[in-house]
Structure 1
Amino acid sequence: MKHGTFVSRSLPALGLLALAFAAFRGPASAQQQTVDPALYSGLRWRTLGPFRSGRVDAVSGVPGRPHEFYFGAVNGGVWKTINAGRTWTPVFDSQPVASIGAIAVAPSNADLVYAGTGESTLRDSMGYGNGVYKSTNAGNTWTHVGLADSHHVGRIAVDPRNPNVVFVAAIGHLYAANAERGLFRSRDGGATWQNVLHKNDSVGAVDVAIDPSNPQVVYTSLWNTRRPPWFTYAPSNGPGGGIYKSTDGGTTWKPLTNGLPADSFGRSGIAIAPSSPRIVYAVIDAKEGGLYRSADAGATWTKTTGDTRVWGRGWYFEKVAVDPKNPDIVYVPNVGIQRSKDGGKTFGTW
């Protein structure tokens, strides 16, 4: 059994699992809706383990299976629980790589799982991967499906209606330029890939989100980063980063710039409000970094907060999730898990 080489508390599995629960929880029953929240006031979060998998930067719930979750450790492989976290099983140990950057379960097929290898938390000590893997039996077995030279994967998004349409945000090599970076799309379940958004050999993609109401609408964020040997902490942000939108399923793209920062645009994360898809959030590492909100599907943006507790250390964090029922409830995992109930204007830990 493989175990993580590096251990850190900076990005706990518990925080990412909370976001996965928020994203995949099903409709509440009438009885649940009438329960007084004060009854839960004494409950506190607790660590569910496992304790030897290393840092965690990828997690996914499973639609229709509320007790089933996956997480990927940066050097500990993929782990799975079917009992809401009471016990965990490593399901990726037979593969030749242990660094995981992204996990996605197909919304229309709960047994179909994609894992992107190579962590996205690009610190001074990190592990790289060898592309994308696919499981058609809920993680029991895996098949390598390509993008072997992508090294680091920031996010995988699967079409909500067609499990064979999948996007991979490939960051690329951390220490040098390489061609296999940018946003990739497969229309045949990973058998073949097309690089649908490639600026140059230094600019990769770090996040991608598909509109749940219209899968022809796709957002992605690009990031030009490099970690020279003389950098011991944060990597550099180069030119070419930004947020892009496609309205034809990823074939053509246009940059979104109205209201977004232009100077030193680094890593960014994107989330679409499931209950109101024209509302889009982006947490951005930049000179004018912060959380940005669009109410018109990305045409214009407003900075809701510049609180560094939300976007600070952006090269390492910069992920965001929206409550499936309330577009004003937003979660951002950073050193602490930040939650906003007013559309991103104010945040607090929980």
Structure 2
Amino acid sequence: MSSGTVNPNLLQSLEWRLVGPFRGGRVVAVAGHPTEKATFYFGGVGGGVWKTTDAGVYWENISDGYLNTSAVGALAVSESDPNVIYAGMGETSIRGNVSHGDGVYKSTDGGKTWKNVGLNDTRHISRVRIHPKNPDHVYVSALGHIWGTNEERGVFRSTDGGQTWEKVLYKSDKAGAIDLTMDPNNPRILVAAMWDAQRYPHQMRSGGDDSGIWRSTDGGDTWEDITRNPGLPKGVLGKIGVAISPAKSGRIWALVEAEDGALFRSDDGGDTWQNVSDNGDLRRRAWYYMHIYADPSDAETVWVLNLQCWKSIDGGKTFTAIPTPHGDNQDLWIDPQDSNRMIEGNDGGANVSLNGGNTWSSIYNQPTAQFYHAIADDRNPYRVYGSQQDNTSVAIPSRSTNGAITAQEWYQPGGGESGYIAIRPDNPNIVYGGAIGSGAGNGRLLRYNHETFEERVINVWPEFTGMGRGAEALKYRFQWTFPIELSPFDPNTLYVTSNHVHKTTDEGMSWE
């Protein structure tokens, strides 16, 4: 709507109301309060910062009105002063639909208010690490622009609570810091992972000469490149996750994307390394995951987040999958004083565990659904449609006969997590939904009939190539979220776009 066609005064009395769904969206940043055992935080890719004081039973947004961008890439609570919280903005998974940020925000009152404290051009921040004894001494690892080059990337340090920042580790304008770990027993020891990567419209580049592992033993004043130390891979490196063990001095974990990538461990502070696991499940879709966390009390226990959540209790030799409420696991915070207390973030939200991951809180109480598109039909009551990241498409009536709109009223009308939705204007029971869930580049398209509940696949090109195939295997290249549109002049004509424009006049039975 434009101001030229709609009188803005007509909209002043309108009030927003939440109609659902109440399931969470993608979460890549989590943290916990060091002493209040039921208090946790998460940062949503599409929802800002949220807080619970009852271990995940109820969540409250604490950043609305303060953040200029909604994608939180990193979150940290000061151990010495829990009122101090830092949020690094912009996620670092270089998807085609990646959400950028605008630097670092800081709260000094437990999240009641927030202030931007700089590094605005970092765009995508992977970690924030706070000195365990000094909340003003903070480090930020920033990936930088993912669609091109820029200078504001690498590892930054502030010793005055974010008033000023110093770039202490920088490799090049095409490589940024994707992970950063601090030794809590000696905060002057830092290990950073640099990632040489770039996103393009139909593809990405993960890996290059400037990827690697760097070590500092003087609080970031100087850094040593330990990428080629004995035991680590020799070729081109991609994304790397790093973790220092709080339970054993000198133990460092590195999860490395490379031709001979694996999970590596050093027991001498990074001087030498050994391959402890070449389990491919730990490195699946490396550009999207590669997250590793050391247990604070048991040196032999390590966690790796991927499509599944993996745990090893034998020093990385074997791993067991730990069930979580949703797949695509992105971040984990473990209480330094109690390994059973943790919060985990994934593509379905954030969930709390107080028993070491045996059980988790719900993700169906977080209105942070990351919707790509929304549309409404002409029925009475009208239905609102949307497509939610890493879930399904969803249709929700604008009102119900039960006095409230609950999960019983939600349903999937065809399509999937990323697609556009089109509704026939002459028959709102017929809905077309796009989806990429069948595999990037495939352009899945479905027709749904509300009256018969029939769902029919009407793909432009019927061949299914599956995920992980190269562009040469695809007849057409569809974006993650590709437009579909019904003609306003002829409801029988449907347009779909890949690297071409496609048209059907018989509801997808044939295409031209």
Q: TM-score range by the shorter chain?
A: 0.7 to 0.9
2:90 touches 2:125 (CA, 8 Å); kept in 1? yes
Residue by residue, what CA displacement relative to the aligned partner does 1:289-344 show, whole Å, maximum 9, x if unpaired?
Answer: 22111111111111111111112211111111111111111111110000001111
Aligned to 1:55: 26
Residue by residue, what CA displacement relative to the aligned partner does 1:198-217 show, whole Å, maximum 9, x if unpaired?
Answer: 11111100111111111111
Aligned to 1:252: 222
CA–CA distance in structure 2, aligned partners of residues 322 and 181 of structure 1 = 26
Aligned to 1:264: 236
Is it true that 1:303 corresponds to 2:303 in the alignment? no
Is it true that 1:242 corresponds to 2:212 in the alignment? yes
- Identity fraction in percent: 43
Is it true that 1:124 corresponds to 2:99 in the alignment? no
The amino acid that maps onto 1:242 is G
CA–CA distance in structure 1, aligned partners of residues 110 and 117 of structure 2 = 16
Is it true that 1:151 corresponds to 2:123 in the alignment? yes
SS in 2 for 1:219: strand
2:122 touches 2:145 (CA, 8 Å); kept in 1? yes
| CA-atom RMSD in angstroms | 1.6
Structure 1 residues 328 and 92: CA distance shift in structure 2, 3 A:
same
Aligned to 1:329: 301
SS in 2 for 1:180: coil
SS in 2 for 1:71: strand
2:283 touches 2:290 (CA, 8 Å); kept in 1? yes
2:206 touches 2:239 (CA, 8 Å); kept in 1? no
Moved more, 309-318 or 184-193: 309-318
2:238 touches 2:256 (CA, 8 Å); kept in 1? yes
CA–CA distance in structure 1, aligned partners of residues 198 and 221 of structure 2 = 27
Aligned to 2:256: 284
How many corresponding residue pairs? 301
1:145-184 matched pairs, under 5 angstroms: 145-184=117-156
CA–CA distance in structure 1, aligned partners of residues 143 and 64 of structure 2 = 24
Aligned to 2:201: 229
The amino acid that maps onto 1:345 is K
Residue by residue, what CA displacement relative to the aligned partner does 1:207-231 show, whole Å, maximum 9, x if unpaired?
Answer: 1111111111111111111012231
Structure 1 residues 335 and 164: CA distance shift in structure 2, 3 A:
same
Aligned to 1:186: 158
Is it true that 1:76 corresponds to 2:77 in the alignment? no
Q: Could you list the runs of 5+ residues in structure 1 that have no partner in the other structure?
A: 3-48
Structure 1 residues 50 and 273: CA distance shift in structure 2, 3 A:
farther
CA–CA distance in structure 1, aligned partners of residues 278 and 37 of structure 2 = 34
SS in 2 for 1:309: helix
2:100 touches 2:123 (CA, 8 Å); kept in 1? yes
1:211 touches 1:217 (CA, 8 Å); kept in 2? yes
TM-score, normalization by structure 2: 0.57
2:96 touches 2:201 (CA, 8 Å); kept in 1? no
Moved more, 303-312 or 169-178: 303-312
CA–CA distance in structure 2, aligned partners of residues 103 and 293 of structure 1 = 26
SS in 2 for 1:208: strand
CA–CA distance in structure 2, aligned partners of residues 195 and 281 of structure 1 = 25
1:123 touches 1:235 (CA, 8 Å); kept in 2? no
Which of 89, 94, 99 matches 2:71?
Answer: 99
CA–CA distance in structure 2, aligned partners of residues 236 and 319 of structure 1 = 16
Residue by residue, what CA displacement relative to the aligned partner does 1:27-76 show, whole Å, maximum 9, x if unpaired?
Answer: xxxxxxxxxxxxxxxxxxxxxx9624x21111111211221111111121
Residue by residue, what CA displacement relative to the aligned partner does 1:58-96 show, whole Å, maximum 9, x if unpaired?
Answer: 111121122111111112111111110111111122121
Q: Could you list the runs of 5+ residues in structure 2 that have no partner in the other structure?
A: 1-14, 323-512
CA–CA distance in structure 2, aligned partners of residues 218 and 348 of structure 1 = 29
Moved more, 239-248 or 275-284: 275-284
CA–CA distance in structure 1, aligned partners of residues 217 and 201 of structure 2 = 40
Aligned to 2:396: none
CA–CA distance in structure 2, aligned partners of residues 334 and 216 of structure 1 = 29
Structure 1 residues 187 and 50: CA distance shift in structure 2, 3 A:
farther
TM-score, normalization by structure 1: 0.83
CA–CA distance in structure 2, aligned partners of residues 198 and 71 of structure 1 = 28
1:122 touches 1:235 (CA, 8 Å); kept in 2? no
Aligned to 2:35: 64
